[in-house]
Structure 1
Amino acid sequence: MKHPLLAATAVLAALAAAAGALGAVAAAAAGAALVTAVALGWPQMLGAPARRSLTTVLLATGLLATAGVATWPDPETGGAARAFGGSLLEPVAICLALGTVAAFMVQLVRGSGRPHRLESTAGTVTGVATVGAAAGWTVLARLDAGPLILSVALSLALAALAGLVRLPRPAAAPVALGLAGLAPLGLAAVLPGLAPSHAVVSGLLAGLLVVLTGRTAPDRGRGRPVGNRAAVALGVAPVAVAGVLAYFVFRIVPA
């Protein structure tokens, strides 16, 4: 990440996500914190009008998705069947659908002829997907994937820390991805229950998220991305999305 504030925020967000290894309650609290950080700064980052309405949509979508996952029937004790794999993500899908509809409704309420309606709607829908993805950390915690949570959080933090080092531009991305993908191997050697394949694949995906997010930020010395709240939202975004990506790696990639 080229902007120091983005990198520092991503490191702190990764540490918050790591708290999910303590259990579903801690993961839900961490997810709520990630959602709040994104919701407060996302409209500012977009430069969108009707910022309060859009913040409300993002905040409600993300918090409801995280709460829904935390309270969804336990697939081990009867409720949703484990055979359906994605059952714990059902409340996330519902909240994403409702959040998308709400994003369009905000623009309809604004009335016709308002500026930047298309850009605002597209950006808000992207924000809805980002805050909904934060519930993935709670899903992992409910599946007793604490070791994987720690691994992904470590990969995120290392990739973000690489952004604080003044590396030549061609070397920045490879270094970040290398740290994100190789560090989990060492963790898998000492942490029971962490499959090396899960750790490496999810680590590389997490590192890629950080690198791609950093590419959207201004270069050092050229200011911050539309204010501090926007920078915080952009820094937290890859951490929020990494949770749901790690969940799919946990489900799909052979251990």
Structure 2
Amino acid sequence: MKTWSMGVIGLAGLAAIIAATYSSPAALLGVAGLTALGTGIGWPYFLGIPAKKTLAALIGLPGVGSAIAATYLPAPGFLDWTPSFIAAGVTAIFVMQLLRGTGQAQRLESTLGSCAGVMLSCLGAGWIASSRFNGVREMVLVAAISSAIALLAGLIRWPDRVVAPLGIIGAGLAGPLAGLVFSDIAVLPAALVGVVVGSVLVSFRRLVVLRGETLDLPAALGIGLAPVSAVGSLAYFIDKLLMY
């Protein structure tokens, strides 16, 4: 698969999140859980590290647990258990690497990369927290639209020095516009969400470019869903810090 497949998968993930947000909490939990599992399955393939099946479980399951906790924890502590799930996942990865023994191939890369995958998987619970925060779903929509603009910019087969500023500026402009059209969210929080999520997404595009290899389906799934997962928590914390 080509590098632009990351953007296509990311857009599909965003569409599923928005549809589930305006459907029911159970639907959003299902989508968040599938996003975490997709990240877990695909991330080891993107990194090209051994023990992919075991690492897929260790990366994806903490994300599922974080999503379940964010769905059922009382306000305002929607993400109170997320650090615990991240810590549990990281600990499990270190234990697994110890069990592999010394002298194993790519041991350091596998450990560090998998720990990053656990964090990305768990951050997807932020979409649930954003949806539940004061019962306002508009920030989810603003973050998703900004992310979609950045992902669409990433589909353009131009150099990063052109695509990166285009994606960040486009997302930064789309945020306030979406806020004005679909809600009464202030311009500053919407613009900040747009710029931050745009920066994150174009950074992941750079990772794909630097990898320099054609993506297989699991790798495209992991690198497509991982940044979408991270954007959820970014939007939630910006919403919480600037709007209330």
TM-score (norm 2): 0.91
Map 1:43-192 → 2, pairs under 5 A: 43-72=44-73, 74-75=74-75, 82=76, 87-143=77-133, 144-167=135-158, 169-192=160-183
Q: Secondary structure at the match of 1:224?
A: coil
Q: CA deviation at 1:194?
A: 2.4
Q: In 2, distance between residues paired with 1:62 and 1:39?
A: 8
Residues 209, 238 of structure 1: 8 Å contact kept = yes
**Residues 171 and 218 of structure 1: is their aligned pair in 2 closer, same or farther, counting only changes over 3 Å?**
closer
**Larger CA deviation: 210-219 vs 90-99:** 210-219
**Residues 48 and 169 of structure 1: is their aligned pair in 2 closer, same or farther, counting only changes over 3 Å?**
closer
Runs of 4+ in structure 1 off by over 6 angstroms are none
Q: CA deviation at 1:104?
A: 0.5
Q: In 1, distance between residues paired with 2:160 and 2:239?
A: 32
Q: In 2, distance between residues paired with 1:228 and 1:192?
A: 37
Q: In 2, distance between residues paired with 1:145 and 1:8?
A: 27
**Residues 169 and 109 of structure 1: is their aligned pair in 2 closer, same or farther, counting only changes over 3 Å?**
closer
Q: CA deviation at 1:25?
A: 2.7
Residues 44, 229 of structure 1: 8 Å contact kept = yes
Residues 145, 178 of structure 2: 8 Å contact kept = no
Q: In 2, distance between residues paired with 1:114 and 1:167?
A: 39
Higher relative contact order (CA 8 A, sep 6+): 1
Q: CA deviation at 1:21?
A: 3.1
Q: Write the letter of the residue equivalent to 1:32.
A: G
Residues 20, 138 of structure 1: 8 Å contact kept = no
How many equivalent residue pairs? 241
Picking from 181, 189, 196, the partner of 2:187 is 196
**Residues 93 and 168 of structure 1: is their aligned pair in 2 closer, same or farther, counting only changes over 3 Å?**
closer
Percent identical among aligned pairs is: 29
**Residues 20 and 250 of structure 1: is their aligned pair in 2 closer, same or farther, counting only changes over 3 Å?**
farther
Structure 2, gaps ≥5 residues long? none
Q: CA deviation at 1:198?
A: 2.0
Structure 1, gaps ≥5 residues long? 76-81
TM-score (norm 1): 0.88
Q: How large is the Cα RMSD of the aligned pairs?
A: 2.0
Q: In 1, distance between residues paired with 2:184 and 2:25?
A: 17
1:12 aligns with 2:33: no
Residues 136, 247 of structure 1: 8 Å contact kept = yes
Q: CA deviation at 1:68?
A: 1.1
